[in-house]
Amino acid sequence: MTEPSVTEPTVIAQGQGWLVLDKPAGQSFHSEDGEPGFFAAAEAALCQKLWPVHRLDKVTSGLVLVATSAKSAAFLSKQFAERTTSKYYLALSRQRPKKKQGIIKGDMGKARNGSYRLLRTLDNPAITRFWSRLDTSFGERLFLLKPHTGKTHQLRVAMKSLGAPIFGDTRYGGDEADRTYLHAWALEFNDGQAQQRVFSNPSGFHWPDVPDDWHDPFTDF
């Protein structure tokens, strides 16, 4: 098995029992097919034992919360399980959505080759709220996505259901790009001492500036 890369991960924030790291696009969270993933590489680079609290898809970049003790891992993971954290993502699309803002809701069903699709049923639905703005520099539309659930491929499937698949997400019908333009941008959680709010600006040629009235989503949305 290939040894994990020791490239130093970007530490966005840290506190008692936790770190927030910045995951690059295109890197698997867990090791697979003999290749080290983001989590294993972070442990190797930081020379310490870490505990995963949540994860991101391979194509997604941005904020990842990890614990530095088993006790903190249990405390933080419980918040994700109980959905008391707040997460906001940024996404780009080159296709016009059916509506500019609203809620996308539906059960997730398996499709071919590891993909998923949004169903009309609501037995255990994936729920995503979204807002969007047209970016005049490249003509793409910028989306602010707030998942209220944590289903596999939830945001990617939600965007496809809008008729606006994510730029670069060819699995779900997006146009070709240098990366999949989906980024975990903002995260709020309680570390046992205070509410923590952490942001990570995305990297990639096409990302526009975040609109001024989106800068504090925890208050404004």
Which residues make beta-bridge pairs with 144? Answer: 90, 131
What is the chain's Cα-based Rg?
Answer: 17
Identify the active-site residue in 57, 135, 175, 212. Answer: 57
Strand 18-23 relative to strand 10-15: parallel, antiparallel, unpaired? antiparallel
Nearest CA-CA partner of 120 in 159, 73, 80, 161:
161
Instruction: Indicate if 57 belongs to the active site.
Output: yes
What pLDDT, on the 0 to 100 scale, is given for residue 2? 47
What pLDDT, on the 0 to 100 scale, is given for residue 221? 77
Compute the distance between CA of residue 18 and CA of residue 90 in angstroms, rounded to an integer.
24
Kindly list the distances between the CA atom of residue 3 and the CA atoms of 10, 43, 162, 183, in Å, as whole numbers in the listed order. 20, 12, 41, 27
Nearest CA-CA partner of 106 in 126, 136, 88, 76:
126
* pTM recorded for the entire structure: 0.93
Compute the distance between CA of residue 143 and CA of residue 74 in angstroms, rounded to an integer.
32
pLDDT tens for the chain, 221 residues: list them: 444 455 678 999 999 999 999 999 999 999 887 788 999 999 999 999 999 999 999 999 999 999 999 999 999 999 999 999 999 999 999 999 999 999 999 999 999 999 999 999 999 999 999 999 997 677 899 999 999 999 999 999 999 999 999 999 999 999 999 999 999 999 999 999 999 999 999 988 899 989 999 988 998 77
Burial class (CB in 10 A: 0-12, 13-18, 19+), 199: middle
Phi-psi group of 188: left, alpha or beta (phi > 0 → left; psi -120 to 50 → alpha; rest → beta): beta
What pLDDT, on the 0 to 100 scale, is given for residue 8? 72
The answer to whether 36 and 2 have CB atoms below 8 angstroms apart is: yes
